[in-house]
Chains A and B, each alone.
Chain A
Amino acid sequence: MNTLLLVTLLLPLVGAAGVAVLPDHRQLLAKQLTLGISLVVLVMTLWMAVGFDTGGERFQFNSSYTWIADFGVRFSLGVDGIAVVLIALIGVLVPVVVAASWNDEPTGERSMKAFFAWLLVLETMMIGVFAATDVFLFYVFFEVMLIPMYFLIGSFGGPRRQYAAVKFFLYSLLGGLIMLASVIGLFVVSNNQLGEGTFAFDALRQLEITPGTQKLLFLGFFIAFAIKAPLVPFHTWLPDAGAEAPIGGAVLLVGVLDKVGTFGFLRYCLPLFPDASRFYAPLVLVMSVVGIFYGALLAMGQSDMKRLVAYTSIAHFGFIGLGIFAFTSQAGTGAVLYMVNHGISTGALFLIVGILINRGGSRMIGAYGGLARIAPLLGGAFLIVGLSSLALPGTNSFVSEFLVLVGSFTTQPAFSIIAAVGIILAALYILLMYQRTMHGPENPRLRGVRDLDKRELATLGPLIALIIVLGVYPKPVLDIITPAVDATMVDLGTNDPAPTVAEEGNR
């Protein structure tokens, strides 16, 4: 039993209660309290990441308590290498979001106090969804996570926030309910095979499920995760939700919440249903590669910056899907690293877009121009973050994209080659947006706008530092991820094929 994870999970929830009961006029105190708690959580998540024994047990920081005996449900927490880096990502992003939303004015009469309280609730749910080692508990976090995000979008979002919030909620709920059928199905199977139903991940991995049943159960989980990730054609909620969410909400929505889908593929679909995963892999690969192009092409066509960033994410999730369903540990490791890097880069990109909107008062690209001369710091930050998003060598995303492509080439050369072409499109949509907003004739409306202030530098600084550090020296993170991905591949029953180059050398 190690309660560090449990404490990390519960601390934001307790903090949220504390923020919620503050009187309405203590807005500043609410912000300070939220920031303080999120920083403590950051320290604890980093502590866990550093303390994670890369050569040790697959799941660490375990704790487990009886919850609902009749269902065989336990409140079990534990992290493997994949979960621990994603939890660390949450730890980093939440304080950044708090700082970025510091001066936000609420729409209507609502107080920002509620915003920060919901943010902390969301942090607990996000940590929980990655930390659960009981499938039922995972499902509970998966569903309940929707509620804080729903209120963040619906209460604090843009003009079409009602529509976007409901669409987001219903899409995710539909996926969740389909997954519930499979969750119950797993219970029934375990009840038949083990004599008592259980939801413990370690016990479920041992089941021998017939391929026919596997396919049905796989589909339930897969649809839920494909909506969450999202893969084309389940993606239509994301541009709306991403565009209407408040910037802080959008960072967490795209940076973390969507990762639950790809995380779910790796944690649940592959190990629990290996036969079905192999059976459906071609379908998923097609969806992923279509997503890379579809997302990129639609991103190019957007005039709304927030929608543009949302569409870029759909393209990026195509790469992650490719990495996961290529079934090699190299590609899998790349996909996990991609999840982390995407959270950092796209999170930073949303923050920059938010700053632009704050200065120019419009989400439209056409309302900007020549801003780099007026606000050089902002222009510079935009350039670095943008280059990271298009995976320029030297930035974090390059490492992960390269790993995904190299890793998938050994098993899926065709998909890998097609996906590589998508990189060019990524360069187009990012650079076009940068060019239209930062260069060209100055838009007279923007004359005299402020450059980045200290608070904004403090929010973007850590992310830009991570972009460069992880681009140059990703080894510590890779060391944590690799054993967990290897274990997943063992569950899946695949042996890594020899790298393509070596094969040719033998001939």
Chain B
Amino acid sequence: MTNPALLQDGTPRLTDWRAMISGAVLIGLALVVTFFLDTPWDSVSTFRISRPRDVWAVGNLTVPSQWFNVIASVLLAFLGTRLFLKGGGRWTALALGIGLLVLVLSFLVWATAGKAISLTGMLQATVVRAVPIALAALGGILCERVGVINIAIEGMLLAGAFAGAMFGSLMGGWAGIICAMITGGVFGLLLAALVITYRVDQIIAGVVINLFVLGLTSYVSSQVFAEYRWLNKASPFRSFKIPVLGDIPLVGPVLFNQNLFVYGALILVTLSTYYLFHTRHGLRARAVGEHPRAADTLGIDVIKTRYAHVIVAGMVAGFGGAWFTLGSVGRFDENMTFGRGFIGLAAMIFGRWHPLGALAAALIFGFADSLQQKLSILNTPIPSEFLSMAPYIATIVVVAGLVGQARPPAAIGKPYVKE
């Protein structure tokens, strides 16, 4: 009557397909590293850390290329085999992450074999390029935590970039940033009105706002900017060094010698972490995103909370958008955000709807971005178009690999109707 085999320790297991596939992928990567990324045994990859005139100069980091990659492929093969045979459970994602990191590193070592690049410069670029992604992700988090999907993040970035360039040209950089945030906030308000008050499907509303912003900014830039060039010629923010901290080798230039947007993003991430998880209003916001009806019965205004967060999210995205113009060249080009908003949403999922997680994810995407830039300088035989696909492919891998493991807020995508 009973089934002893079942009730004893050896519980029947479903085949862990995710772990098996991940394991197979890692083993495949080990083969890639072994056969495609091999270099002469005597070649050395050099990573520069300090510039000669730095206060505290540190020597270069040199790595024997082939040895590094042998170790990397052994590590990959080990992780892969383990996952394949034993399954990974919760560790699958982590193992996959480590595997991808090892792959990227050995790729970098291979590309630099016999040459030298500046590690500091690369990490600096990583942080800079992570900024719009992190801010987009933060905007996404603020919306999704209250139960609103924000596909319109891309459009808000673009609107911020546009407003930053135009008002920055007219009234100077600071005014440009403020106007970019206001513009982002206005589109946040539009999204909020559509999805909260008029109950338009959240994804449709987001897509339409993206189309609208793309049309509007393209129209103005071809109709107006083409003629009045001075309207699209803002002076960008320069980076400034924080005294003492900025002189620390490696860390200094990467974190403490950056422009306003980098510092702003770091502050916003810290603030929103505190807000969401340690304050009264953060708790209420999360309750609205998880169970709006419960929040309503406790006297929390669901509609107002959602409006406020979506608008603030728009402002954050507007600030992130200004990075594209005021944070780099000061000029607006059509569709210049090129999918960064969507990558931000992937970073949000990767970071499990937590600002710090999203920042970490954004840094990974930023690294992929700057890697691509450096590699095209190093003259690798890989076509630049393929390198520039890397962040997009990485996004797909992340979204596919982690979905289901991370749990989004429960009320996401549903309009709140008071019966």
A and B pair up:
no
